[in-house]
Amino acid sequence: MKLEELKPTWIEQYKKPMIIAGPCSAESETQMLETAKGIKLSGAEVSVFRAGIWKPRTKPNGFEGVGEIGLKWLRKVKEEYGFRTATEVANAHHVLAALEADVDILWIGARSTANPFTVQEIAMALRDTTKTVLVKNPVNPDLGLWVGALERLVGQNVTQLGVIHRGFSSYQKSKYRNNPNWQIALDFIRQYPHIPVLNDPSHICGNRTGLAEVSQEAMNCGFAGLMIETHCSPDDAWTDAEQQITPDRLAEMIAHLKIRNLDLCGYDEEINRRRTQISDLDFQLIELLSQRMKLSEKIGSLKKENNIAVFQPDRWKTIAEYSTMKAEESGMSREFIEKVFRAIHEESVEIQNRLMH
């Protein structure tokens, strides 16, 4: 079976949006049960309780999870509060232990997705399972790598699949812990509309303040659900304390979500008209950029003839200042305008570099 032919049915048992919530890490039986009780009492419409049993950390000598004993705590959460359960698996041993503990949903983390050898090992351990398996996007913005992980699972007859969009690592600092790069997730949806896509605002934001905004953006994009890190005492959490929220805050946030209708109904004519206008403007943008790059090419020829360096720091400074000014004038995001001008400038430099060679 090919990925394009897959028809996962697991999502049908959950109310939309499907909400997965629970602590970043399982720390103790008490912490797990208190968090589960808090979620239940808060009234939050949570279907699945999550907890990290094994924690892949960037550096050694930190807390890397409680190990298999945490699976017993997950089972107790299921027995006492009726939640389905979910945890991350990063190797074959994790898979076998989680399956033996009857964990309902297993997810492959971003670091694991980036390594085809690891994904293959996990896929072989999961062979023929009917459990739900979710795949987080790789840490780097590579749609092919993400899709490849799913194809490896399909190759082992794992069919109840979904993905989690958790953002992408970036060396440059921004307001996000992991840049959302929404377009990559939207490209995935466009290519595989039958595969459920969830969003992980906790790892995108890296803090509590942006969770509601990112969660709503995911709903605006038609995502099937959210995975939100929730802890009975977030400030005391052993890992990622700053991005976890209390059960009460979780319930409040879910209650304020606006769920968008994917059916265009009577709005299709107006939407199509607006899309046509956007297409026209996009064409104009391409034409203008083409003209600009031709001018850059002429400037590159002059630099080559006069033995002048391609990159001129003063010129970039002028562009950066101009972009900031235009952002303020237009009412658009300064960050967005800077990205646009930076991309244009980098392409101009690339064109001139080719001329130099």
Domain boundaries, the chain: 3-255, 271-356
pLDDT at 266: 54
Is 242 within 8 Å of 215 (Cβ atoms)?
Answer: no
CA-CA-CA-CA torsion sign (255, 261, 267, 268)? positive
8 phi/psi in degrees, rounded to 5: -65, 130
pLDDT at 105: 98
Average pLDDT over residues 102-130: 98
Average pLDDT over residues 295-311: 84
pLDDT at 355: 82
Confidence of residue 326 (pLDDT cuts 50, 70, 90): confident
Range with the largest mean pLDDT of 189-203, 249-263, 327-341: 189-203
156: which 2 tokens? Answer: 């082992």
**Which tens digits make up the pLDDT trace of 340-357?**
888 888 888 888 888 877
Average pLDDT over residues 188-216: 95
Residue 177 DSSP code: S
pLDDT at 278: 85
pLDDT at 104: 98
Is 129 within 8 Å of 99 (Cβ atoms)?
Answer: yes
Sole residue written with tokens 């690339």: 350
Q: Over 80: is that where the pLDDT of 217 sits?
A: yes
Tell me the helices (H) and strands (E) count for the chain, helix number first: 13, 8
Confidence of residue 319 (pLDDT cuts 50, 70, 90): confident
Q: Mean pLDDT score of the chain, rounded to an integer?
A: 91
Average pLDDT over residues 200-207: 97
Q: Which residues of 244-253 are buried (b: 16+ CB within 10 A; e: fewer)?
A: bbbbebbbeb
Q: Which of 1, 6, 48, 2 is nearest to 193 (CA)?
A: 6
| H/E element, 85 | strand 84-89
Name the E strands within 16-70.
18-22, 48-50
Range with the largest mean pLDDT of 82-91, 219-228, 293-302: 82-91
pLDDT at 25: 97
Sole residue written with tokens 């990159």: 311
Is 214 within 8 Å of 199 (Cβ atoms)?
Answer: yes
| One-character DSSP codes across 71-82 | HHHHHHHHHHH-
pLDDT at 272: 64
| Fold equal for 3-255 and 271-356 | no
CA distance 35 to 104: 19
Share of the chain above pLDDT 70, in %: 96
CA distance 199 to 311: 39
Average pLDDT over residues 206-227: 94
Share of the chain above pLDDT 90, in %: 67
| H/E element, 263 | none
**Which tens digits make up the pLDDT trace of 236-288?**
999 999 999 999 999 999 999 998 776 555 566 667 667 767 877 887 899 89
Is 42 within 8 Å of 251 (Cβ atoms)?
Answer: yes
pLDDT at 87: 98
Confidence of residue 315 (pLDDT cuts 50, 70, 90): confident
pLDDT at 264: 53
CA distance 147 to 113: 10
CA distance 120 to 155: 10
The CATH superfamily of 3-255 is Aldolase class I (3.20.20.70)
Average pLDDT over residues 81-88: 98
Is 49 within 8 Å of 66 (Cβ atoms)?
Answer: no
Compare 282 and 144 and report the one with higher pLDDT: 144
pLDDT at 218: 92
Q: Which of 53, 46, 12 is nearest to 239 (CA)?
A: 53
Q: Over 70: is that where the pLDDT of 11 sits?
A: yes
Angle at 343 (CA atoms; ends 338, 349), nearest 5 degrees: 125
Helical residues (DSSP H) of the chain, grouped into ranges: 29-42, 69-81, 92-100, 110-113, 116-125, 143-154, 182-191, 201-205, 211-220, 247-255, 268-305, 313-330, 334-356
pLDDT at 340: 87
Partnered with residue 22 across adjacent β-strands are 229
pLDDT at 246: 98
**Domain 271-356 architecture:** Up-down Bundle (1.20)
Q: Over 80: is that where the pLDDT of 129 sits?
A: yes
3-state secondary structure of 123: helix
CA distances from 70 to 82, 86, 101, 137, 287 (A): 17, 12, 10, 25, 58
**Which tens digits make up the pLDDT trace of 147-165?**
999 999 999 999 999 999 9
Query: Other CB atoms closer than 10 Å to residue 84's CB: what's the count?
Result: 18
CA distance 288 to 157: 49
| H/E element, 344 | helix 334-356
Query: Other CB atoms closer than 10 Å to residue 218's CB: what's the count?
Result: 25
CA-CA-CA-CA torsion sign (86, 90, 94, 100)? positive
Compare 206 and 303 and report the one with higher pLDDT: 206
Predicted TM-score (pTM) of this structure:
0.79
